[in-house]
Copies of this chain bind each other. A is one copy, B any other.
Amino acid sequence: MAKKIRIGLIGGGEGSFIGGIHYRAAMLDGYYELVCGAFSSDPEKSKRSAGVYHVDPQRAYPGWKEMFEKEAAMPEDKRMQAVIIATPNYLHYPQAIRALENGIHVICDKPMTISLEEAEALAGKVKETGLVFALTHTYTGYAMVKEARQIIKSGKIGNIRKIVVEYPQGWLSTPVEETDNKQAGWRSNPEFNGPGGCLGDIGVHAANLAEYISGLTIESLCADINSFVSGRELDDDANVLLRLRGGARAILYASQISAGEENPLKIRVYGEKGGIEWQQHEPSTLMLRMLDQPAQVLRAGQNYEYLSDIARWNLRLPAGHPEGFIEAFANIYRNAATDILRYMGTEAEGTEFAEYPTVYDGVKGMQFIEKVIESAQSSNKWIPFD
Q: How far does the alpha carbon of A224 sit from the alpha carbon of B296 in the complex, in Å?
A: 31
Given contacts A51-B1, A318-B17, A381-B378, contact A274 B260 (CB under 8 A): yes
Choice from B239, B257, B260 contacting A289 with Cβ under 8 Å: B260
**Chain A, 318-360, CB within 8 A of any chain B CB:** 318-327
A305 on the B face (CB < 8 A):
yes
Q: How many copies does the complex hold?
A: 4
Instruction: Give bound CA distance, A327 to B284, whole Å.
Output: 15
- Size bracket of the A interface: 35 or more
Contacts of A292 in B (CB 8 A): 304-306
A82-90, A114-122, A262-270: which lies at the interface: A262-270
Among B272, B301, B303, which residue has its beta carbon within 8 angstroms of that of A259? B272
Is B319 a contact partner of A325 (Cβ separation < 8 A)? no
A294 and chain B: residue at smallest CB distance: B296
Contact indicator B316/A237 (Cβ below 8 Å):
no
Query: Nearest-CB distance from A19 to chain B (Å)?
Result: 12
Q: Give Cα A381 to B375, complex, Å.
A: 10
A241 B259 Cβ-Cβ under 8 A: no
In the complex, A2→B52 CA distance in Å? 6
**A50 is an interface residue with CB less than 8 A from chain B:** yes
Interface string of A294-321 (1 = CB under 8 A from B): 1111110101111000000000111111
Q: Which of A1, A173, A304 has the most CB of B within 10 A?
A: A173
Report the stretch among A7-15, A73-81, A163-171, A188-196 that lies at the interface.
Answer: A163-171
A282 within 8 A of B: yes
B residues near A29, Cβ cutoff 8 Å: 24, 27
Additional 8 contacts, C-beta under 8 A, given A260-B270, A263-B320, A292-B304: A162-B237, A173-B270, A173-B291, A259-B274, A260-B274, A280-B320, A295-B297, A323-B324
